[in-house]
Amino acid sequence: CMGPSMLPTFNMDGDIVAIEHLSKRYKRLSVGDVVVCISPVNPGRAVCKRILGMEGDHVCEDPTLREVERKYIDVPEGHVWLSGDNLSNSNDSRTYGPVPYGLIRGRVFARVWPDPGWIANNFLPYTSYP
């Protein structure tokens, strides 16, 4: 992994992660998974981002904008919406739009180095606030 877009989950440089390919093949990816996919802007490059919306979901395009400026979008069929954890410095679906599912290469399930540990999907189901 390289780049600041997934801080603090991954460092800017030098992290080695483990990827599994079974989830994408059997359609077990879900919102909140960290995935590696081929960049839509540069086919020779891979990017590491988190899935924020699967096909059919209604996602907020840019949560860093103020409430009144936010736009919402429906993720089209066969696409996913990717987002880096470090929203202040991340080139993700806010820049290049929804990404076709066919570009995803695998799901990151563990960090091997420098701090070995599982990478979990920490997203909780949405419950409305009282």
Which residues bind to other proteins, rule: CB under 8 A?
A: 38-44, 76-79, 99-103
Give whichever of 102 and 116 is closer to other proteins, judged by the CB atom: 102
Q: What are phi and psi of 74, to 5 degrees?
A: -90, 130
Q: How near is the Cβ of 73 to other proteins at its closest, in Å?
A: 15
Residue closer to other proteins (CB basis): 5 or 9 = 5
* Least distance CB 99 / other proteins (angstroms): 8
Q: What angle do CA 96, 99, 105 make, to 5 degrees?
A: 125
| Least distance (Å) between residue 90 CB and other proteins | 18
Q: Please give the positions annotated as active site.
A: 5, 49
Question: Which of 121, 122, 108, 115 shows the shortest CA–CA distance to 17?
Answer: 108
Contact (CB, 8 A) for 111 and 17: yes
Residue 100 CA from chain centroid, whole number = 13
Identify which of residues 28 and 70 has a Cβ nearer to other proteins in the complex. Answer: 28
d(CA 100, CA 117): 29
